[in-house]
Amino acid sequence: MKPRLHRGSLAAFILGLCVLCFLGGAAAIYYRAPGTEALAHAFEGGRAWYAVWAAGDKNLSPADRQAIADLKHHPKITWDAKRALNGYTLISLLWSDNVYLVDMKGHVVHEWNMPFSKAWPDATHVHSMRAPTMIETAQLLPNGDLIAQYYGSEDTPYGYGIAKMDKDSHLLWTYSDNAHHNFYIDRTNGDIYGLVQKMLMSPAQPDDVHFLHYPMLADYIVRLSKDGKEQERISLLDAFRDTKFALLILRGEDTRDAVWDYMHSNSVVKLERDMAHAFPMFKPGQLLVSLRNMSVLAVIDPGTKKVVWAMSGGWKRQHSAAFAANGHIILFDNQGAGAADKSSSRAIEIDPATGNIVRQFPAKPSQDFVSVIHGRVQPLANGNMLVVESDNSRLWEITTDGKVAWKYALAKLPEKEIPMSGIVSAVRYTAQELPFLQDVKHEAH
């Protein structure tokens, strides 16, 4: 008589076999076994799908998006008019196609709207359109034109491009590449410095660095003309290669993210000629880049396309590094006082000559000030800095002595509704920088 396998035993055997196959495949992908490039892409796609599913339905309906936009009507404002830089603040919200310009009292004076699908009806440069999109960063021109960078949730590459629209939200041009996080507008000629990314599947490509794992996400700086045409591209991998800073790339392996995202660049700014005297170690036109997963700041010379300076310090997984007029660099330190302190964040000012932190807000680690991701900081003309505390949907203008000159706070959205931050970016402008508002006010009457 032949032995009979019990149904429960058969099910357990099949389940165990599936687990072993999964673990074997995952190990092959992790250790980059030959022939696993396609599996790596599929695995990443599955991770993205699961992240969206597990977080709840973030493919928001128009009504949901409007509910987020309605937060603009209920800000709480603290304002010290004598110490704050009077002007207008441009605000981008999570999962929103809208960008708002608010005055110091929190009143919306103008807004723009451009859904990604309207700007790119046929987005062939995007890897996946299953996840929602948003305007991650926006900046204004004096005539009311808005330049916006788009982000795709849980996609790789996650940069979705840059678009320009006029003050009435009419599309002017698009840049169809995987531009992400942030960009900088040259004050001299209007050129746009942005960050783009692409997946390198193997080291046998021009941008390879032999000691890294593949496939990997490669980072680039691009320079666009003011009409959105690409003029120049700098590979950040190549910028580090054959320099004394090359091994800093390996710091990107010590990260919570997939090993393929070594750099995760998230800001680029140009050292303008009128500020260069404050930074004698750099030259006018050189570019400061923040590399989050490396916890490194780097300065790149666009002439040689090489890193000429790089620094790590007491910050971890930072965002939004910028030159300040006093010769210091400011940034948003997402990990607060140290790598082990994951419950607080801070805005800091460092001396690039020594790496010393010369100012920070809050003065002491606080669990009430946190942004796990996102977070921005902008140096202001009066010496203050504008800080975006994304997770708690708050903006802070901080004086040189650490006082709050202006605070803009929205009601924090419940985690079950929006499981990430609320305010993504903000930029302060003076009235003199926005002459188009005179026409807007005239039209309103």
Number of residues in the chain = 445
Of the CA atoms within 13 Å of residue 83, those in its CB half-sphere come to 18
Number of domains making up the chain: 1
Q: pLDDT digit string (tens) for 368-381?
A: 898 888 999 999 99
Q: What is the pTM of this model?
A: 0.83
247, part of any domain:
no
Give the whole-angstrom CA distance, residue 136 versus residue 160.
Answer: 10
CB burial of 270-294 (b: ≥16 within 10 Å; e: otherwise) equals bbeeebeeebeebeeebbbbbbbbb
Joined tokens for residue 11: 């099910």
207, part of any domain:
no
Give the whole-angstrom CA distance, residue 273 versus residue 174.
Answer: 29
Is the pLDDT at 408 greater than 80? The verdict is yes
Please report the pLDDT score of residue 152 as a whole number: 87
Is the pLDDT at 437 greater than 60? The verdict is yes
Give the whole-angstrom CA distance, residue 238 versus residue 305.
Answer: 8
Q: Read off the pLDDT of each residue in 253-268 and give the average, rounded to a whole number.
A: 77
Q: pLDDT digit string (tens) for 52-66?
A: 333 333 445 454 455
Q: 208 pLDDT band (50/70/90 cuts)?
A: low
Joined tokens for residue 174: 């698009």
Joined tokens for residue 285: 């036109």
30, part of any domain:
yes
46, part of any domain:
yes
Please report the pLDDT score of residue 294 as a whole number: 93
* Domain interval for residue 48: 26-55
31, part of any domain:
yes
Residue whose token pair is 């070594």? 262
- Residues 104, 79 contacting (CB under 8 angstroms): yes
Q: 424 pLDDT band (50/70/90 cuts)?
A: very high
Q: pLDDT digit string (tens) for 131-185?
A: 688 999 999 999 999 999 999 877 788 899 999 999 999 999 999 999 999 999 9
Joined tokens for residue 116: 């990604």
Is the pLDDT at 254 greater than 50? The verdict is yes
Q: Read off the pLDDT of each residue in 328-356 and give the average, rounded to a whole number.
A: 83
For residue 435, say if its preceding peptide bond is cis, omega within 30 degrees of 0. no
Is the pLDDT at 387 greater than 80? The verdict is yes
Q: 118 pLDDT band (50/70/90 cuts)?
A: very high
Instruction: Return the HEC string of the chain.
Output: CCCCCCHHHHHHHHHHHHHHHHHHHHHHHHCCCCCCHHHHHHHHHHHHHHHHHHCCCCCCCHHHHHHHHHHHHCCEEEECCCCCCCCEEEEEECCCCEEEEECCCCCEEEEEECCHHHHCCCCCCCCCCCCCEEEEEEEECCCCCEEEEEEECCCCCCEEEEEEECCCCCEEEEECCCEEEEEEECCCCCCEEEEEEEEECCCCCCCCCCCCCCCEEEEEEEEECCCCCEEEEEEHHHHHCCCCCHHHHHHHHCCCCCCCCCCCEEEEEECCHHHHHHCCCCCCCCEEEEEHHHCEEEEEECCCCEEEEEECCCCCCCEEEEECCCCCEEEEECCCCCCCCCCCCEEEEECCCCCCEEEEECCCCCCCCCCCCCCEEEECCCCCEEEEECCCCEEEEECCCCCEEEEEECCCCCCCCCCCCCEEEEEEECHHHCCHHHHHHHHHC
Please report the pLDDT score of residue 201 as a whole number: 84
141, part of any domain:
no
Pairing type for strands 171-175 and 394-398 reads unpaired
Q: Burial level of 8, CB count in 10 A (0-12/13-18/19+)?
A: exposed
Phi–psi pair at 298, nearest 5 degrees: -140, 145
Joined tokens for residue 168: 């009435």
Please report the pLDDT score of residue 211 as a whole number: 72
142, part of any domain:
no
Name the residue among 75, 142, 139, 132 with its Cα closest to residue 112: 139
Residue with the bigger pLDDT between 84 and 208: it is 84
Please report the pLDDT score of residue 36 as a whole number: 44
Is the pLDDT at 255 greater than 90? The verdict is no
Is the pLDDT at 273 greater than 90? The verdict is yes
What separation, in Å, do the N-terminal and C-terminal C-alpha atoms of the chain show? 96
293, part of any domain:
no
